[in-house]
Amino acid sequence: MTSPVPSRPARRAAARRGRAVLPWGGPDPQAARRAAVRSALAPLLAAHRAAFPAGDPRELCRAYDVAERMHRGQLRKSGAPYVTHPLAVAMILAGLGMDTTTLVAALLHDTVEDTPYTLGEVRADFGEEVAVLVDGVTKLDGERWGERREAETFRKIVLAAAADLRVLVIKLADRLHNLRTLDHVPEHKRRRYATASLELLVPFAERLGIHALKREMDDLAFAHRDPAAHAATAAAMRQALLGADAVFGPALRLLRGSLAEHRLDAEVSVRPRHLYAVHQDYAGDVAGLRPCQAARVLIVVDGGEQDCYVALGAVHAALHPCPGRVRDYIALPKFNLYQALHTRVISPDGDPLDVIIQSRAMRPVAEHGIVAHIRAAGADTAGTVAGRRDLVWLSRLLAWQSDATSAAFLDGLRIDLAGGNIAVFTPAGDVVALPHGATALDFAYALGTETGAHSIGALINGRLAPLSAELRSGYVVEILTDPEGSPTPDWLQVATTAPARVHIQSWLSGRQTEEAAALGRHRLARLLADHDLDLLTAEAHGTSLSIARDLGFTEIDDMYAAIATGSLPLDALLPRFISP
């Protein structure tokens, strides 16, 4: 007995309820599948629609459908279906307001690495732009790269970011979700993963100015790397913030009154600090943490940059300022284009309070960094780092990475990303960002490889100083050079930045190779002379190069260097010159 054919309104109603049927009464697998995809994607589609009201959800649905099919049967360590991970990564990015292409790539970001789905299929199904993003975040094959896999994967990500910064943003969202779900991983692996996150990924979030991700990544990695210290800091913060109203209340009233007197419309609030920052600032000694150490005052001004300076005057009129504690990041933004005025004042009760002043236009950049710029100007701005003042650090990283071995690259990357930065000036007024502890030699290499290689000294604030002199923010530095100058081995004890160290090591290695080649050539020439043969004649006729190529050397000097090191015995080489 056949079932009656449902009416069209009945079929539509069933589809809305997720129970699509065919005209003859049977279930419609494709319609049911589409309904299931829509249901799973509902939160993502809603978040994306909030940032892109006119966005087309069909590409997201297609991408999720592929990801779900490809990852079907794969489970996370928690036991959850694997597709929940790329979906969560896409949700994080949607919360940042990233574009459709980025979300599609996020949904597919593990397919090439963990499923039979190939990069060629990504390109054919979703286009070149998505393929570039997916390829950028795909780890290299462990069997092929072995111990070099981690270093070369990071090198690949950095190179991909030069083409499209969204690669780094996806990688950060991927790491954040992995940190959120790290409880299901064995403890020793958690600690290692958390440490790598703090050393490599969190600094990338800082460099890109994406503090909305950085703060959570900081605290999650801190919790997994040092659970006891994290718990102690969290407890100290909770206790300190219980007294926040009593400490901050009188100060906020005075600040609001002074801002009103200066005819400024501004929002004044208390902003708790994140745990890892507190732990770092007080070196883990958080016993007796005070409210003024656990939070800061944030003033968001309705107006432009000039109004921020007026607000600074209003703050200092209301509360006594601490000398030397004003930091102007509006006139001189941080390397990630963060802008604000920072000051420290004394509360009515005598507590030192840190105050941050920003305009409303500065807030998106303060929270989302490069993402705010990508959102404001469209995805095309993700293309290249060239000329971006906020990405000079990435341009420098790209400049030295090609000369570094895998181990040197990873170590250099950790050093280059570690800690804060100082702003040092050239005599022309250009700003050079360097890590804390950088020397005049590091500054010289930051200006260029040739400047660094030929540097012989420096003028710091007009006074002669050695290349080993440590620099401070605000210093004006001029590098003195000599065309005959060159690196020496002791420079490796002076240089602290990765670009300087890599270039110095490269130069020294090249010099050693030249010296070895000269020594090997001398030995070979002497041996040939004993047999009435002339090496110059053999070189002029191409005999030396031919023999070198036959032995697998690209250049003659490589063969000569092998003679010097003993890896190519002269006795084995002589017959080739006697009977070429």
Q: What is the pLDDT of residue 234?
A: 94
| 227 and 284 together in one domain | no
The Cβ of residue 417 has, within 10 Å, a number of other Cβ atoms equal to 19
Q: Is the pLDDT of residue 5 over 60?
A: no
Q: What is the pLDDT of residue 547?
A: 87
In a domain, residue 111? The reply is: yes
How does DSSP classify residue 273? P
* Alpha-carbon span 67 to 109, nearest angstrom: 9
Highest mean pLDDT out of 93-107, 159-173, 409-423, 564-578: 93-107
Q: What is the pLDDT of residue 417?
A: 73
pTM for the model stands at 0.76
Highest mean pLDDT out of 211-220, 369-378, 567-576: 211-220
The mean pLDDT of 420-447, rounded to a whole number, is: 86
Q: What is the pLDDT of residue 22?
A: 44
Q: What is the pLDDT of residue 28?
A: 53
| 152 and 293 together in one domain | no
In a domain, residue 383? The reply is: no
Q: What is the pLDDT of residue 14?
A: 39
Catalytic-role residue among 113, 141, 515, 550: 113
Range of the domain at 85: 30-232
The mean pLDDT of 160-168, rounded to a whole number, is: 84
* Alpha-carbon span 481 to 455, nearest angstrom: 4
Residue ending a domain, among 368, 387, 404, is 368
Of 202-206, 420-424, 503-507, the least confident: 420-424
Residue in this structure with the two tokens 């010289």, named with its chain if needed = 444
Classify each residue of 288-307 as buried b or exposed e, where b means 16 or more C-beta atoms within 10 Å of its C-beta.
ebebbbbbbbbbbbeeeeeb
Residue ending a domain, among 166, 197, 232, is 232
Q: What is the pLDDT of residue 452?
A: 92
| 207 and 281 together in one domain | no
Q: Which two tokens stand for residue 172?
A: 């950060």
Of 13-17, 176-180, 210-214, the least confident: 13-17
Is 183 annotated in the active site? no
Percent pLDDT > 90 in the chain is 45
Per DSSP, the residues of 173-208 read HHHHHHHHTGGGS-HHHHHHHHHHIIIIIHHHHHHT
Q: What is the pLDDT of residue 170?
A: 93
Which has more pLDDT, 561 or 220?
220
| 296 and 353 together in one domain | yes
The mean pLDDT of 91-95, rounded to a whole number, is: 94
* Alpha-carbon span 173 to 206, nearest angstrom: 13
How does DSSP classify residue 334? -
* Alpha-carbon span 158 to 160, nearest angstrom: 5
- pLDDT band with cut points at 50, 70 and 90 for residue 144: low
Question: How distant is the alpha carbon of residue 149 from its chain centre?
Answer: 18
Q: 499 with 439: CB under 8 angstroms? A: no
Q: Which two tokens stand for residue 520?
A: 């090997």
CATH no. for residue 328?
3.30.460.10
CATH no. for residue 226?
1.10.3210.10
In a domain, residue 490? The reply is: no
Of 27-36, 201-210, 347-356, 551-560, the least confident: 27-36
| 196 and 251 together in one domain | no
Q: Is the pLDDT of residue 358 over 50?
A: yes
In a domain, residue 323? The reply is: yes
| 122 and 210 together in one domain | yes
Q: What is the pLDDT of residue 236?
A: 94
In a domain, residue 19? The reply is: no
| 259 and 213 together in one domain | no
Residue ending a domain, among 329, 350, 368, is 368
Tell me, letter by letter, the H, E, C secondary structure of 116-171: CCCHHHHHHHHCHHHHHHHHHHCCCCHHHHHHHHHHHHHHHHHHHHHHCCHHHHHH
| 214 and 259 together in one domain | no
Catalytic-role residue among 59, 65, 114, 557: 114
| 212 and 247 together in one domain | no
For the chain, give percent helix, strand, coil, nearest 5.
Answer: 60, 10, 30
Q: Could you tell me if residue 489 is left (phi over 0), alpha (psi between -120 and 50 degrees) or otherwise beta?
A: alpha
* Number of independent structural domains in the chain: 3
In a domain, residue 497? The reply is: no
| 291 and 151 together in one domain | no
Looking at every residue in the chain, the average pLDDT score rounds to 85
In a domain, residue 467? The reply is: no
Q: What is the pLDDT of residue 261?
A: 95
Instruction: Give 466-522 pLDDT, tens digit per residue.
Output: 999 999 988 999 999 999 888 998 999 999 888 888 888 888 887 877 878 888 888
Q: What is the pLDDT of residue 141?
A: 60
- pLDDT band with cut points at 50, 70 and 90 for residue 21: very low
Q: Is the pLDDT of residue 63 over 90?
A: yes
- pLDDT band with cut points at 50, 70 and 90 for residue 77: confident
Q: What is the pLDDT of residue 174?
A: 94
Is 164 annotated in the active site? no
Q: Is the pLDDT of residue 277 over 50?
A: yes
Of 188-202, 411-425, 458-472, the least confident: 411-425
Give the C-alpha distances (Å, rounded to integers) separating 311 from 254, 265, 304, 361.
13, 10, 11, 15
| 220 and 245 together in one domain | no
| 104 and 167 together in one domain | yes
In a domain, residue 55? The reply is: yes
